Structure 1
Amino acid sequence: MHDCIFCKIVKGEIPASKVYEDDDVIAFKDIRPAAPVHLLLIPKRHIESLLDCTADDQPLLGKMLALTPVLAREQGLGAGFKTAINTGLAGGQEVFHLHLHILGTP
């Protein structure tokens, strides 16, 4: 997807306040935070939504979920946090690149 804003962040074409990056995923601060801490965790590979995931994506999805509490604790959310994955237009997805929201108040 040449016009995907998250793919442009992955490529370094658009700046982001990164808090984590490895070969598979990147996490950064949401530019329109809905909570004092609001991170987005995305795969580097373009996947439009959770509806497009298959059994082949299980390792990536597991990695994302396992990384979520690590990132939350690093951001001061050790007492708890909220996660959300909006899926499809009817599910409130605005950017069509799979992303997991991590939200909370330290």
Structure 2
Amino acid sequence: MTSDFYCDEVLSGKTEVNRVVETDNVLAYHHTRPFYPVHIVTIPKRHISSLITLEDCDNELLLELMGVIRKVAAWVTEEHGACRVITNLGNYQDSKHLHWHIVSGKAVG
């Protein structure tokens, strides 16, 4: 069975999150266990396994998702001077739900 923290915990409401931006289809929130001083996760509210499983019918959702990522990245860059926008694939992707990390600062721990 594949783990999907985002559907099982975040979107179901089992795990409360500190929302940054939310639209009808996209949620950006502060990571529940941050690896960076600033660590925001952005996800589609509909389950999509990963970047490489997107289909042509997902183009509008992808544009909305990228718009939220752009907005959050601009805010983080303005507040902290820089940021990274990261997505993981394959074995690097712990939760098999498309998600992007917007991070700033040096990794902690």
2:96 is matched with which residue? Answer: 96
- Uncovered stretches (5+) of structure 2, i.e. residues with no partner: none
Find runs of 4+ consecutive structure 1 residues off by over 4 angstroms.
Answer: none
Task: After TM superposition, give the deviation of residue 66 of structure 1 in Å.
Answer: 2.0
Are positions 1:18 and 2:19 aligned together?
yes
Residue identity in the other structure for 1:4: D
Give the TM-score normalised by structure 1: 0.82
Give the TM-score normalised by structure 2: 0.80
1:22-56 CA-partner distances (Å, limit 9, x unpaired): 11011111123222111100000011111211111
Q: What is the percentage of aligned positions where both structures have the same residue?
A: 33
Q: CA RMSD of the aligned region, Å?
A: 1.9
Task: After TM superposition, give the deviation of residue 82 of structure 1 in Å.
Answer: 0.6
1:87 is matched with which residue? Answer: 89
Residue identity in the other structure for 2:36: A
Task: After TM superposition, give the deviation of residue 62 of structure 1 in Å.
Answer: 1.7
- Uncovered stretches (5+) of structure 1, i.e. residues with no partner: none
1:59 is matched with which residue? Answer: 60
Aligned pairs, number: 101
2:4 is matched with which residue? Answer: 4
